[in-house]
Structure 1
């Protein structure tokens, strides 16, 4: 393992112009790259061993952080499945799987999430990322217990209260987990690791779908109680192991413990070498960019999110990207899968549960594959493909659902006794549901945890993620209240809204959402300080590599 004599200044846009180098003597390779020269120099000077015991140990630690995303996925598919359990769950509470009742019960989760906003920053900034994960997990366990005890009294108020506490805890844990992961993961693997983080959302949804599907074969209230009690599995694991994990070196450094941060970086990123290029690069950037007395030390101070142009841009990009991923139509295809399948001609509880479970498994597989491409393809290209692609899929879904509805022979489109004459149209709707799941999961699911947390600088990351969570939950409230009513009143015509809106999202993303790959978190400051962040983030650079593995960057505009 070679120790370099020189590491490129991470704040310099151009180190030296290629024309000033004696090519025959010093330069052995010239290539064009995207991203920063300092990051690319570290990649060249020190390889990161994937199968090294320390790498695998760090991956195992990061897996615990992944569990913070499972709770959202579990709940999303949980109530989609419980609203399909007519014989026991809906009968127990005298409810229905669409309309205001369904929207009110499910929306308490989002209301709890929004209410947690003022507490996310203090939990994560004041006491550390691990403490935030722990507190959120404990609250989720409490909320689950409150929900489970409704088996004795069928109290809608208690069920809603439990969902409120659950949503409150999930917001804290779901903010702390990705922040801890992106700040603790090795820079080389940050993209794929944080992208994989959000795929565990789908692992939670698979467990939930399987539990609700299995519950349909059980008699009595246990058919819906078992899926609810299983909601404690992942937060329980986090609560047990949180304090055995390494703390974020950035948080440790910003808390005034430079030597401890250096030791963490040396152990986990330098493989025991304190002079590793990766250790030096990150420490140099901590010294350059991290404020030891920034707004993250003042729990009440959210002004840093809006105190300058770059901060406003960061906040807007993170929040609107998160809202956009909620408004692609995935809401009606998850929380209200039962009602959506009515329009596809799938009317039995078992049939719906089978489709829901298959849908979750498919999404997980494609999300894992997509996470492996976030560095190759790039965040920006994947999100653009995601938004424009689902718009096309919704066109096909709308046409198929409309054709199916027009073939109604008897009953109502959304009733279990509906009979359709055009079975091909029903099969087409089902096919496009699965195509949607595959496309969305590959392109957008890996970015949901990765992109917002990259966009925020350290000083505003925790509060920014709290504010972003507010947007996610506000977007979720629209999903909870608007779509069940729309599906009930105008049925398949609801899909036309998604055709138009997802296309609009793609256009907005093209003009305003920058690329973030192949840069350390601190180097992203250059992008948002630039006059045109999107243009700056997508430009290429020429790297001249000398005989001693020193990288000399060349501004492409000068070549």
Structure 2
């Protein structure tokens, strides 16, 4: 699909006239409750962000390096990559669990596994025990990270779906900030608790989910798919219309969900793994999803995310305190830009944010390479400090799209029947890219130094061209309308026809008008 077609999406909001203008996220008790549940799901991403920043910080701690015999090269790569290897082990099972037992229970299962793993990691007495615990953290995170964003996007109030789903990946930095400042605070502890305390605190999001997540609302789309339509309508009515199951918005959502699921399951048989590449529309989806997953880890960000201390060493900043302080400030900077971009997803559009992000990353990474080369020749402190400045600017550009939008865009372009499987492929590609990245980066930095940056400069140019050609605008559509965009407008018309047929046939009152949902 060329660039012209990629911008052809309409901008009107088909459900806008059904939304009560007086029902806002801050003045409606049930919307506030719904958003509290959504925050509980969003912190799944915090666990992942915490891990990356924690490992960055631990590499600057003498206590950690001594405890594990100063790991370097391949061993250091393994310590960083093992969580993603554990994630790979969970990928064959995660979508079946999400679709089988539901989104809530899958998040709870992942949180339980991560709690056990965090305890083992904190108690580690050897590098082997530490590696095993991190493998288990990755395995559990796969289940929670597969289900949590799906539940967010499927239960959110339509007007807030895009920014809330975009916040999922943005809150990666909330965990990253906590880890960065915890390791900065504990490096003065003259014992193994300098690294055990950060490891212990990694379990906090999982504790909250273990205790609370089973009380959260289940996905109405999952409930409809399981034939539990009365429960689905009750969830929609309770949180989206103060319990009124005859509210026009609730009826619109309910009928569209039923029609889309019936269409995919009975008309197009769009349910198996082969369906991911069986139709032109699904091939378009996978072409974008796989590219976004790979780009998100191969845009040069991996160097700073996992090997910031190595970069600092190469530009003459070797003090542990200084390295940890800059890392902590960087995570706050990232969170600011990512959250801001998440709230602009519907206003500015996905395509605009992605293209702006790609252009900014290319420009600022090129500037990093130039300053790095200058420092390698002169060792001038100004050149080293300029590298740090351009790292911050690079991440501002990265955070415009590749932090907030990669998850929200992926889940919104997939139809319900393929959502968990397609999102699983997305996470699988990320893990493969991360594992390779985490092994290659320390070796390449040692061998090439600043010249390694030139590889990423060339690759960022490729990314920008790819996004310009293939990325499709999806703003201001419901989930079902967005999915239909890839399959042609005729599918959208068929879905709407099915919804009208259902509405004529059924009584549409399976739940009490003011039913409560716990």
Common fold by TM > 0.5: yes
Could you give the per-residue CA deviations for residues 438-482 of structure 1, whole angstroms, max 9, x where no partner exists?
A: 221233211132111112110011111111111010010121111
- What's the offset of the Cα at 1:292? 9.1
- What's the offset of the Cα at 1:398? 0.4
2:80 is matched with which residue? 106
- What's the offset of the Cα at 1:512? 1.1
Could you give the per-residue CA deviations for residues 501-556 of structure 1, whole angstroms, max 9, x where no partner exists?
A: 1121111111112112111101123311139x9xxxxxxxxxxxxxxxxxxxxxxx
Could you give the per-residue CA deviations for residues 28-87 of structure 1, whole angstroms, max 9, x where no partner exists?
A: xxxx993456234435x75542321222111111110111111110111111111111x2
Query: Could you tell me which of 445, 463, 471 is aligned with 1:487?
Result: 445
2:502 is matched with which residue? none
Secondary structure of 1:335's aligned partner: helix
1:88 and 2:63 correspond: yes
2:105 is matched with which residue? 131
1:161 and 2:158 correspond: no
1:549 is matched with which residue? none
CA contact (8 A) 1:36 1:523 kept: no
- What's the offset of the Cα at 1:157? 2.0
CA contact (8 A) 1:322 1:448 kept: yes
CA contact (8 A) 1:341 1:352 kept: yes
Give runs of aligned pairs for residues 412-431 of structure 1, distance below 5 A: 420=379, 422-431=380-389
1:57 is matched with which residue? 33
- What's the offset of the Cα at 1:120? 0.6
Higher strand share: 1
- What's the offset of the Cα at 1:309? 2.1
CA contact (8 A) 1:319 1:452 kept: no
- What's the offset of the Cα at 1:294? 4.0
1:241 and 2:241 correspond: no
Query: Could you tell me which of 440, 444, 458 is aligned with 1:500?
Result: 458
The CA RMSD measured in Å over matched residues stands at 2.2
Distance 2:57 2:476 in 1: 40
Could you give the per-residue CA deviations for residues 111-155 of structure 1, whole angstroms, max 9, x where no partner exists?
A: 1111111111122100000011111111111221222222x3x2x
Give runs of aligned pairs for residues 491-530 of structure 1, distance below 5 A: 491-530=449-488
Cα distance, 1:387–1:456 mapped onto 2, change above 3 Å:
same
Give runs of aligned pairs for residues 166-315 of structure 1, distance below 5 A: 166-291=137-262, 294=265, 301-315=272-286
2:52 is matched with which residue? 76
2:514 is matched with which residue? none
Secondary structure of 1:528's aligned partner: helix
2:96 is matched with which residue? 122
Distance 1:80 1:55 in 2: 38
Distance 1:33 1:452 in 2: 17
1:455 is matched with which residue? 413
Aligned pair count? 480
Give runs of aligned pairs for residues 2-21 of structure 1, distance below 5 A: none
Give runs of aligned pairs for residues 41-52 of structure 1, distance below 5 A: 41-43=17-19, 48-50=23-25, 51-52=27-28
2:4 is matched with which residue? none
Cα distance, 1:46–1:257 mapped onto 2, change above 3 Å:
farther
Secondary structure of 2:424's aligned partner: helix
1:5 is matched with which residue? none
Secondary structure of 1:336's aligned partner: helix
- What's the offset of the Cα at 1:261? 0.9
Which runs of 5 or more structure 2 residues have no equivalent in the other structure? 1-7, 492-518
1:372 and 2:349 correspond: no
Secondary structure of 2:111's aligned partner: helix
Distance 1:234 1:527 in 2: 36
Higher helix share: 2
Distance 1:186 1:467 in 2: 26
Structure with max Cα Rg: 1
CA contact (8 A) 1:400 1:428 kept: yes
1:401 and 2:372 correspond: yes
Secondary structure of 1:442's aligned partner: coil
Distance 1:445 1:91 in 2: 34
Could you give the per-residue CA deviations for residues 411-442 of structure 1, whole angstroms, max 9, x where no partner exists?
A: xxxxxxxxx3x121111011111111222123
CA contact (8 A) 1:346 1:352 kept: yes
Relative to the length of structure 1, the TM-score reads: 0.82
